[in-house]
Each structure stands twice: as C-alpha cells, then as structure tokens.
Structure 1
Amino acid sequence: MLGGTEFVGRATTEDALARGWEVTVFHRGRHEPPKGVASLHGDRTAEGGLQALNDGEWDAVVDTWSSAPSAVRDVARLLDGRVGRYAYISSRSVYQFPAPAGSGEEAAVVGGSPGEGDDVDYATAKRGGELAATQVFGERALLVRAGLVLGPYENIGRLPWWLTRMARGGAVLAPGPRDAGLQYIDARDLATWTLDAVEQELGGPFNLVSPPGHTTMGEFLETCIQATGSDAELVWTSPKEILDAGIQPWTDLPVWLPPGEAYDMMHQGNVAKALSAGLRCRSVQETVTDTWEWLQSIGGRAPQRPDRPVVGLDAETEAKFLRRRPG
C-alpha cells in the first residue's frame, strides 16, 4: 500500500488486514498506519525517497497518489517485475468536461503524460498517473476512477463540514432541489471493490461511485441531522437564489451542485461496468452515522489535507443570507 494512513488509503489497508492479507505500508511517517502492517518510510518526491522499496516482492500494490504523475511512473518502474498487479486510485475528473449524463468509461479523457511534474492540475495529474501505471503494467494496471468519496477518515472536509454544521443547529441553508440525486462512494466500499478486483485480476478503467440516485440531497442532509441528534431546521433554497448571492457550489456548500453540466457529470455517471464486477454500496445512513461517530472519537475536528482548500460556508455569510432571504 503506497500511503495507507489516511482516508482511502487507510480504508484499503484496514480492509486488506481484515482479509488476513500481509500488508506493507510505504508512507512518510506523518501518521501512524493501522496496527498489523509492515511499515516502510520514504518520500516519493525526494531524491532517493524510494530506497525502502528497493527490495521485496508483492502480489499487488494500491496507489492513491494524486500529484505529479512522475511519482507514479518512478515507483511503477521500480516495482516492475516484483509486483503482480498495480491498482491506481484515479478519479472521474479525468473525463473531459462536460461529460454528458450517462457517460461511462468510453467518454473522452483529458490529456496527460507519465513524466509530468508538480505543475499540473488535478485532472491532468490523475490522467498522467493512469498512463504511468499502464505504461509499466499494461493490462495488469487497474484504474479505479472514483467519484465523490465520503466516509470515516475523510480529510477533505465535505461530510465532516455538514455534520458539524448540523450539530450546531438552528436554521441551515439547504441547497435545492431537495430531490436531486447524489452519487458518491464510501471509502470503505471503494476499498472493498478495489481489493476484490485485484483478486479477480481485473484491469483497465472502472468508474467507482454509487449508481445515480443512490441518495438525494434531502435524504443526505436529513440523515446528517438524525446522526447528530440536533435541532437543525433545513431552509430549502433554490439554486438561483444561492448563486445570485455569490455562494459557491461544491466549495461553500460541499457535495452540492446546481442542475447543469457539472451536476450531470458528477452525479449522473454510468457505473454499470463496476456494478457488473461486484460493486456494492452501503446506505447513506451508514456512511453518515459512521462518519459522525468517527468524528466524535477524534474530538470533533476532522483532519485537513494541506494540499486541498478548506471547504464550507462560514457561519456569518450563511446567517446574513438567511436574514435577507424573503419569507
């Protein structure tokens, strides 16, 4: 496991351990890995940072890297001949925008290169990582194109922000439409499917997210209220009102996108291929409740990846908007 101490990597490591697998975690040492792994330290961005991987053989590697594709290229080349399969956790962001509703793995992708450094955007970096893994491992490279990822250990802040906001109670800006379907993947379901796919010796790209309409915006927010036991009151608001106020979808109001091209691409993707390969998605109630329990267990403050912006509408802006809103 390249990484293995945070969010998707940690969920994958814990799933592998639960299967009785022998797991080696290669990480920088900033966070403790789950108990029971063999721990190797190194920094794949530093000169000589892969030295700990110079020896050893593994049946498979799972790589969650999301920055310079050259880091994927370098480690794939180093492990060539000593690893059976290479599972790269990519992203549905690799598809050219706007990918229409119902698009599957055949949709056009962005450009990318295995040798690119740090100065590339997220989509280009992920596509370059895919190419790097495929360049070395060919059909033995599994490209897991994850959608929106939620669940315990989240270090992006989307679901933790909504849970924290609901726990605070009071009137809550709820972005409509209430019945808008949401697609996401619980990190644990992502982990389970990925390791199952490794066992099945699958290769190539797979969209990994729940089916369209797995839940709705209304059910998602109501479940956050139920999980926290708060007295929060949802104030359902039209997309136009929100956008006219300068409140940003996805960043100010995590998970939410107004109807349009971005919504169609993010929440209307085709996942038939992954479903036919065994994808199973737990309920939104389980994802939300488990995330709240985890958040409370660590003191209520979620970890934040330093390379990602902090998400969520600040309390003053929300209160100001609700005061001015007619009715």
Structure 2
Amino acid sequence: MRLLILGGTWFLGRALAEHALQRGHHVTTFTRGKSGSDVPGTIPIRGDRTSVEDLTALAVHGPWDAVLDTSGMTPHLVETSTKALSDATERYVYVSTVNVYQGWPTLPLNDSSSVRPYTPEGPPGESGADAYGREKAGCEKAVSDTFGDRSVLLRPGVIVGPHEYVGRFPWWLRRIAAGGRVLAPGTPDWPIQPIDVRDVAAFALDATERYLSGPYTLAAPIGSATFGDLLETCRQVTGSTATLEWVNHNFLIEQRVGEWTELPLWRPYAGTWRVDAARARAAGLTCRPLAVTVADTWAWLNDGGPLLGHERAAELGISPEREAAILAEWDARRG
C-alpha cells in the first residue's frame, strides 16, 4: 500500500513509519523537519500543514491508499488537511484520544460511552484537559464529515514506550535509578493500563490494511498491570536499590501534589484506568506485557535515546526537595 503519514519522525509517527516499512508498504512522511529525524526508507516531504499552499503541493505527490494523521491537534487544522487531501487518498486514519469521552478520567469507559460535543468555544472555567478533549472531538468530526465510513478514529489512552517525547516512563525510570526513598503514589495494587506505542502502530496499520472504519478505543486490558508492577519493574531493569514508599491518595491530594505531572501517571480517579477497549480487541488489538515496554524504554534511554523537548515534558516530575518534604510530613503524620 501507498501510505502518507502526517508526522512520522517521532514517537507514534515514527513507530508507524517503521512498522509500515517492515510490512512492505511505500511510506511518505510530511513534516516541517524540525522534530525528530526521518526514518530510513521513507520518502520525506517538507512542509507546514497549517499552510494551504503546502498541503495543496503535498496532494500532487499522491495518490495514496491511506493517510495516517498523528499530528492533527485542532479542528481547523484537520479540516484543512482532510479537504486538501480528499482527492489524493482513499482512506483517512486519525489518531484521536480517550479524552474525547465525556466521562474521562473520572468514570469507567467503553466504546459506547458518550463523546464530548464539539463547540468552537468551551464553557467558562474549562480545564486544559477538557479543552483538549473538546478540540479532539472537533477533529474527529472534521475527519468524519469529509471521509465518512472511509475513516478510522483511533482513541488511545496513555501511550508509552521507546521514543516517548513527553517522558512519563523515562521520568520514573530515571527517578528510581537514582535510588533512595521514592514517593510512590497510592497503593501498589492500583490498576493501570498504558499502551505500548508499537501496539498502537500495529493496530493502526491493521485497521488500514483491513479497511476497518469507525471509532476504536485503544488501551491495555483492564487489570493487566498495576502501579506496583510499573515501579517494581523500573527497579528491576535499572538495578536500583531504591525503596518505594507508598503514600495514600488522600494525603497526596491534601499536599496538593500535581496529578499526572509531579507524579507522572498518577490520577486518583476510579475511571482513569478503567477503559474497556473491547471493540479493538475483537478486531485484533494485542498488547505486550508492561514489563517489556518498561525494559525496552530503559534500553532505548541507555542507547542515547533523547527526549525531544515536547512542551509537556517540562511539566513532569517532582523536585527532590519537595519529594523529601512530603515524605517527611508523611512520616510525621504516621507517628
């Protein structure tokens, strides 16, 4: 197949390009050339997708059997891209997010859960996460309006693995490798279900090759791993002697610890890690064990894997001073 990836040089886009080449597909990537590096074997085309002129010029290089969009963040951007490429491709695969569901992260979700309505302006006091989900819902609408049942909407939860540009797993790996007392959030049996970037890429290509259509939620199976599994595996693969100090959710909330940021992947809601991806599993989604993803991420970091400076990376992690202060207060509270 002839595939066009909007993106294709870092994280999911890179994994898609690598997997597609391994499957024998002809892969073109469209990027500004400012982030990451081109995957050997791809045909890179430079341009800015915010420019109608650049998109029009890109369309001339078609036709393609499918476009895989990993970088569409706003409804206007995606609408412009779908219209410019509508005559140059048969299908459109859009990478959305679990944030489009109204109940995430507080409620358990499945493929039938309600999606946020899209409005150009959000309600007063809208959070950043809600705004992100609303915008992505608008992106999905733009894809569906142009391509209808010739489109696939992928709604992954948290994506992790080698080449991760935000750095959630890398932060935990490096923190535990540094040793000492580690502030571990909640309880070790708190379930999590991040999904490996390579498994998302594989399903996206399966959906493309099999001409699937419609929305698919993507997440590891509910109950397949816990926060304890994650941190213990980090300790094992790094060879660390760190001590994990499990601190309950309510105390962390009282201390105003930044959920999802100061302690990456910690969010104390019942629905955060109860996302049922049954439709995707029925269509062939498979997820490798969490321990494999952790080990491969550590191997990538030790092989010189860089974090590429994504704007969200600066939000991650708790300072050593704040971590020590919270642990000291925890000790005092327990007497």
The TM-score normalised by the length of structure 2 is 0.90
Aligned-pair CA distance for 1:216: 0.3
Matching residue's letter, 2:140? E
Say if 2:52 and 2:80, in contact at 8 Å, map to a contact too.
no
1:49 matches 2:54: yes
Q: How big is the alpha-carbon RMSD for the aligned residues of Structure 1 and Structure 2?
A: 2.1
1:64 aligns with 2:70: yes
Match 2:322 to one of 303, 306, 317: 317
Cα offset, 1:284, TM superposition: 0.8
Matches within 5 A, 1:174-185: 174-185=184-195
- SS for the counterpart of 1:202 is coil
Moved more, 158-167 or 98-107: 98-107
Aligned partners of 2:110 and 2:277 also within 8 Å = yes
Is the Cα contact below 8 Å between 2:67 and 2:93 reproduced in 1? Answer: yes
Are 1:7 and 2:11 an aligned pair? yes
Distance 2:304 2:96 in 1: 28
SS of 1:50's equivalent in the other structure is: helix
- Judge conservation of contact 1:166–1:230 (CA < 8 Å) in 2: yes
Please state if 1:78 is matched with 2:88: no
2:215 is the counterpart of 1:211: no
Alignment deviations for residues 122-161 of structure 1 (CA, whole Å, 9 cap, x no partner):
1122111111111111001100001011101111121111
In the alignment, the residues of structure 2 paired with residue 308 and residue 169 of structure 1 have an alpha-carbon distance, to the nearest angstrom, of 22
Aligned partner of residue 103 in structure 2, secondary structure: coil
Equivalent position amino acid for 1:123 in 2: G
Please tell me the residue identity of whatever aligns with 1:103. Answer: L
Residues 66 and 124 of structure 1, relative CA distance in 2, 3 Å threshold: farther
Deviation at 1:256, TM superposition (A): 1.5
**Range with bigger deviation, 76-85 or 188-197:** 76-85
**Residue number in structure 1 paired with 2:118:** 112
Within the candidate set 29, 32, 40, 2:37 is matched to 32
Determine whether 1:288 maps to 2:294. Answer: yes
Structure 1 unaligned runs (5+)?
Answer: none
Q: What is the SS of the residue equivalent to 1:23?
A: strand
Q: Which residue of 1 aligns with 2:211?
A: 201
Aligned counterpart, 1:230: 240
What per-residue deviation string (whole Å, max 9, x for no partner) do you get for residues 53-102 of structure 1? Answer: 13111011110124221111111111112212110000010011357754
Match of 1:151 among 161, 164, 167: 161
- CA distance in structure 2 between the aligned counterparts of 1:322 and 1:127, rounded to whole angstroms: 40
Q: Is 1:240 the equivalent of 2:246?
A: no
3-state SS of 2:139 partner: helix
Cα distance in 2 for partners of 1:255, 1:246 equals: 16
C-alpha contact (below 8 Å) 2:52/2:84 kept by paired residues: no
For residues 201-223 of structure 1, give each alpha carbon's deviation from its aligned partner in whole angstroms, at most 9, with x where no partner exists: 11111101111112101001101
Note if contact 1:87-1:198 (Cα within 8 Å) is conserved in structure 2.
yes
Q: Which amino acid aligns with 1:130?
A: E
Separation of aligned partners in 1, 2:217 and 2:180: 38
Distance 1:53 1:232 in 2: 51
**How many angstroms does 1:309 deviate by?**
4.8
Going from structure 1 to structure 2, the CA distance change for 1:219 and 1:99 (only over 3 Å counts) comes to: closer
Is the contact made by 2:59 and 2:88 (CA closer than 8 Å) also made in structure 1?
Answer: no
Mark the CA change 1:91 to 1:309 in structure 2 (over 3 Å): closer, same or farther. farther
Aligned AA (1:27): T
CA distance in 2, matches of 1:79, 1:294: 35
The aligned residue for residue 278 of structure 2 is 272
Is residue 56–residue 84 contact of structure 2 (8 Å, CA) maintained in 1?
no
Q: Per the alignment, in what secondary structure is the counterpart of residue 45 of structure 2?
A: strand
Contact 1:249/1:256 (8 A) holds in 2:
yes
Match for residue 142 of structure 1 among 136, 149, 152: 152
Q: C-alpha displacement at 1:168, in angstroms?
A: 0.7
1:145-180 deviation line (CA, Å, top 9, x unaligned): 010111011111211110110111111001122101
Mapped partners of 2:280, 2:52: distance in 1? 38
TM-score (norm 1): 0.92
Q: Partner amino acid for 1:218?
A: G
Answering whether residue 95 of structure 2 is matched by residue 89 of structure 1, we say yes
Say if 1:74 and 1:66 are closer, same or farther in 2 by CA, change over 3 A: closer
Distance 2:183 2:285 in 1: 33
Structure 1 residues 181, 2: CA separation in 2 closer, same or farther (over 3 Å shift)?
same
Measure the CA separation in 1 of the matches of 2:298 and 2:224.
Answer: 20
Q: Deviations over 1:18-63 (max 9, x none)?
A: 1111100000111321100001001112352324413111011110
Partners of 1:23 and 1:105 in 2: CA distance: 30
Task: Calculate percent identity across the aligned residue pairs.
Answer: 41
